[in-house]
Amino acid sequence: LVYEARLAPVDGFAFAVQAFFAEGGRGCNVTVPFKEEAWRLAAVRSARAEKAGAVNTLLTDAEGRLVGDNTDGSGLVRDLVQNASVTLANRRVLLLGAGGAVRGVLGPLLAERPREIVIANRTPEKAVTLAQLFADEGAVTAVTFDALEGPFDVVINGTSASLQGALPPL
């Protein structure tokens, strides 16, 4: 098994995936900014990828079809609960951002039965859309950063700004 990073050009992700599998690749992980494009490329998607609208894992099945999954949420929950001994049940959770990363973790976080998840985002529309999409799975509300009211038991930064070392305006 060889696991190595590959840099795909922003305008050439589909070609990079095609080349990877043509070279004998068996599966790959996908990160920003390509998760939504990976979702569109996948001919078959898991239920959690479907709801997340994003894919972070690609492989091919026996028929050669591209299969997409999203393990972001299950990985985050496992790390928090098992590795860091963080209790999520009956806790108030602040989730910063409303992009693909947040969409991918919402379902698994809600499955842990927090008292409430508050999605805070720079623009309220995306946060409101996510809160509505996941409302049937638990208590989810949406606010702008300016409208935040604490305290929170757990804070998760899902903003893309942190990739450049920037912090959310809290």
51 is catalytic: no
Q: 3: how many CB neighbours lie within 10 A of its CB?
A: 7
Cis-peptide into 33, omega within 30 deg: yes
Amino acid at 10: V
CB 161 within 8 Å of CB 102: no
Q: Which of 8, 17, 34, 35 is catalytic?
A: 35
Environment class of residue 155 by beta-carbon count within 10 Å: exposed (0-12), middle (13-18) or buried (19+)? middle
Q: Annotated active-site positions, please?
A: 35
